[in-house]
A = this chain, B = another copy of it.
Amino acid sequence: MAKLLDGKKISKDIKDELKSQIQDWVNEGHRVPSLQCIIVGNDPASHTYVRNKVLAAKYCGINAETIKFEDTITEEFLLNKIKELNEDDEVDGILIQLPVPDTMDERKICNAVSPFKDVDGFHIVNVGQLCLDMKTIVPATALGVIEMIKRSGIETHGRRAVVIGRSKNVGMPIAIMLHTDKKHESGLGMDATVTICHRYTPKEDLEFYCQNADIIVTATGIPSLVKANMVKPGATVIDVGITRITDAEGKTKLVGDVDYDEVVKVAGALTPVPGGVGPMTVAMLMHNTLQAAKNLSEQRIKIQ
């Protein structure tokens, strides 16, 4: 049976470390790190996500506040609010909970946040720095996957990795980080050989690449996409997918992309859903907030 990669446990460790680091940071005379979470509209899932982020922030000793707007506000109004927070020296991290209403240009909103305060790592400058293996703020879910691999002692150097899903917030940054060169500024140096699969990868090719992989990271939202016959015995399987389904008895439950009950018998290590990557995302967001606080404090200006 696969070793379970317990995201709850690992993320708890990370949050405890952050709590201690933030305590030290404040003891050194710095202000308590502050995170402002903007949420537009009344999507219940978005409100739950933001609530969990605020709770985690409080646990770590971050001063987190939620700013709620009706979905009737204009893009211009939101951009002005972001500008205000960018210019506020008391604010370290700014998070805009996605999705924003259809009346707004999501990319424009993401780029409006100062790259130094962009705890989601969605600003073009942060994406550019990530793809150049520079020090930057990395999207929290992608960073959570990498941190989980590192903390679980899973070897990546020279190993075969497959990333299923080419989304710009998850699949792409994971694929970039998995093949990083240690000589580059980020120092991450994971050095895996990486294959990026997506919706137009033929089914037999997906099977082929997965069957030959030491590490599979799947982020598609397709339940039971990764089956036991696609996993090499002993391989590591990281399941980023999370989908609410209704089972035969009419009960709803959360499932990942992996056919868990069967894959657990073959894989060497596997993340459960829920309780795998999910909690890592929130923990890494707190990591990013402390990093934003340090960035601002050091007034490090990379882009001139």
Contacts and interface: CB of A to CB of B under 8 A. Distances in A.
Contacts of A166: 179, 181
Interface residues of A, number: 44
A253 interface: no
Contacts of A134: 107, 124
A235 to B, nearest CB: 15
Nearest to A178: B196
Interface in A248-304: 302-304
Interface stretch (A23-31, A46-54, A91-99, A198-206): A198-206
A119 interface: no
B111 A304 contact: yes
Interface of A: 79, 107-108, 111-112, 123-134, 157-158, 160, 166, 168, 172, 175-176, 179, 181, 191, 193-198, 200-202, 205, 208-209, 212, 302-304
Nearest to A195: B195
Contacts of A200: 157-158, 191, 193
A195 B193 contact: yes
